[in-house]
Amino acid sequence: MATSGVQRSGEPGSVRHTGGPARFTVERHGGSTPHLELRLDLGGRPVSWLVADGPRFEPGDKRLALRGDDQPLRDAAHVWDAGMLENRGAEPLEDGLARGRLTLWFGGARFAGAFSLVRTPTGGQEQWLLKKEPDDGVPG
């Protein structure tokens, strides 16, 4: 069954992009190091980041975001938010990902507004910064 460009795949609990609007989910994970997992569907290619302490919503605020396991979007029990995703960058999302800079608009109920993901130069696990950008009409 396809809805809003998303369709269940053969993997239990997973969904896949079917050419409609880009989507995202944010899953809450507990344990000894609570964090949120931000999952994007970039043209059918799933990508994810682990964000300690979750996002901040004041323009200029940054959070460390470590690249996670790139698995399909899921109907997970711990979904904190989900919604549509809009590219605000000058290049396609796949190119921005390869270059290390994504500028995005998230249209979720909780996770909403303009954010950028910028890769940092590191030697170990791929590290990015999730930065809150000024929203339209909000000075920054």
pLDDT at residue 1, rounded to an integer: 32
What integer pLDDT is reported at residue 20 of this predicted model? Answer: 56
Per-residue pLDDT, 63: 93
Question: What confidence score (pLDDT) does residue 123 get?
Answer: 66
60: left (phi over 0), alpha (psi -120 to 50) or beta: left
- pLDDT at position 140 is 40
pLDDT digits (tens, 9 = 90+) for 22-36: 899 999 887 778 889
Q: What is the pLDDT of residues 77-90, one digit of tens each?
A: 688 999 999 999 99
What confidence score (pLDDT) does residue 61 get? 93
**Residue with more model confidence, 21 or 29:** 29
Q: How far apart are CA 140 and CA 71, in angstroms?
A: 34
Nearest partner of 129 among 119, 137, 140, judged by Cα? 119
Element containing residue 40 per DSSP (H, E)? strand 35-42
Q: What pTM, to 2 d.p., does this model score?
A: 0.77
pLDDT in tens, 97-130: 999 999 999 999 999 999 999 999 876 678 999 9
pLDDT at 74 over 80: no
